[in-house]
Amino acid sequence: MPTRAQVAAGLRQHRMRGVTLIELMVVLAIVAILASLAVASYRRYVLRANRTDATSALLRIQVGEEKYFLQNNTYTTDVTDQPPTGLGVASPTPSGFYKFLITGDPNSTNNIATSFLATATAQSTQTQDTSCVTLTITDQGLRNSAPSTTDCWR
């Protein structure tokens, strides 16, 4: 017959092992916090990556405008028509994140635009990129953005 000490030792060995509900809740809370940080960071990255749609299209517009100016001695305000009347740039972008507009020089005479301002305006989900809602480029290559002017053209 086993002694009391042997019975107590046996009970200690067969003690249940596992995770308590409190431990599980702590782990879930930590995972939730890390996931929320990761999702927010990823969302900022996606918005910044989508901004390259606008910057690359605006640079294509600037190059197209210069080619158009060399051939016609004026700039065009037609973004979407194919050359020779327009620049052939899709507006909005194929991904649908930006819409483009070109304005000519308001002081131009005889419908000969001597300067232009190309503007890309965020639309759809890209409007969540609140620091860079609009991006612009001029015939002189001056780049700007609104409401913030920092890091939008990077």
Confidence at residue 32, expressed as pLDDT on a 0 to 100 scale: 96
Contact partners, residue 103, CB within 8 Å, separation at least 6: 77, 116, 117, 119
Asked if residue 56 is part of any domain, the answer here is yes
Structural domains of the chain, count: 1
Cα–Cα distance, 152 to 154 (Å, whole number): 6
Asked if residue 131 is part of any domain, the answer here is yes
**Nearest 5°: phi and psi at 31?**
-65, -40
Asked if residue 27 is part of any domain, the answer here is no
Range of the structural domain that residue 97 is part of: 51-147
Confidence at residue 11, expressed as pLDDT on a 0 to 100 scale: 57
Asked if residue 2 is part of any domain, the answer here is no
Q: How many CB atoms lie within 10 A of CB 64?
A: 20
Asked if residue 59 is part of any domain, the answer here is yes
Asked if residue 88 is part of any domain, the answer here is yes
Confidence at residue 85, expressed as pLDDT on a 0 to 100 scale: 77
Confidence at residue 116, expressed as pLDDT on a 0 to 100 scale: 92
The single residue listed with the structure tokens 């996606």 is 46
Asked if residue 98 is part of any domain, the answer here is yes
Confidence at residue 86, expressed as pLDDT on a 0 to 100 scale: 81
Confidence at residue 8, expressed as pLDDT on a 0 to 100 scale: 62
Confidence at residue 12, expressed as pLDDT on a 0 to 100 scale: 59
Asked if residue 15 is part of any domain, the answer here is no
List the chain pLDDT tens, one digit each, 154 residues. Answer: 777 766 666 655 656 678 899 999 999 999 999 999 999 899 989 998 889 888 998 999 999 999 999 988 888 888 877 777 788 887 777 788 999 999 987 666 677 788 899 999 999 899 998 889 999 999 999 999 998 777 888 8
